[in-house]
Amino acid sequence: MRILALDSSGLVATVAIASEDTIIAEYTINYKKTHSQTLIPMLDEIVRMVDLDLSEVDAIAVTSGPGSFTGLRIGSATAKGLGLALDKPIISVPTVDSLAYNLFGTDRMICPIMDARRNQVYTGLYEFIEDKLVVISEQKVVDIDEIIDEINTKDRSVIFLGDGVPIHRDRIAERAKAYSFAPLHMNRQRAGAVAALGLEYYKEKRIESPAEHQPVYLRVSQAERERAEKLRREKDIDTK
């Protein structure tokens, strides 16, 4: 079987095609372009390079969130459009879970952190038990100090990875106990990991129709927060 995998949930845009025993193609960009500019051209390129007819894929794996609101919408819309056009199921892969899957096989605890701004991160805690990814603490959005405090109660060594690391490295060094940072080739989103985890989900029949698929934001967008704040202020004025 073959899986097409997409991830545009963060700063990285990444696309992969995988079978059950190999990553056939993977294309990753972490540069100053929007995902609307990169995702489809990247997909077109790897399809062309491996002479693939997209109708041959069995399912489309896509990171379902959390992450950038715009990035998630682009990835979701692309996956839904392809799924509807090709009549293929969608495999929703939690973004933070797929980041953790980069570190397959480690005996240490894993803490992905994606920048959520305002000193917050999208994060979770994971470990591998008998080659299975196990969720210790489900993905969530919290203050960086809160996840560090949670880690410190576990009394275990932890590996941090994700685009939140450069932003919060000093705070981690100041407050965390036993920790390290993932190496360069493992510390960002990779569609290969989304595909690998998607294959596991597919075998477990954790699939959905394109119509059913929806991103998971975990919190409202900045525009929605600003609108709510504006309405609150207007209400306060009216009651005075």
Comparing CA positions, the residue from 88, 80, 72, 81 lying closest to residue 36 is 72
The pLDDT of residue 228:
46
Q: What is the pLDDT along the chain (240 residues), one digit of tens a residue?
A: 999 999 999 999 999 999 999 999 999 999 878 898 899 999 999 999 999 999 999 999 999 999 999 999 999 999 999 999 999 999 999 999 999 999 999 999 999 999 999 999 999 999 999 999 999 999 999 999 999 999 999 999 999 999 999 999 999 999 999 999 999 999 999 999 999 999 999 999 999 999 999 999 987 555 444 454 555 555 656 665
- Against a cut of 0.85, is the pTM above it? yes
Residue with tokens 């900045």: 222
The pLDDT of residue 32:
78
* CA–CA distance, 26 with 211 (Å, rounded to integer): 26
CA-based R_g, the chain, Å: 19
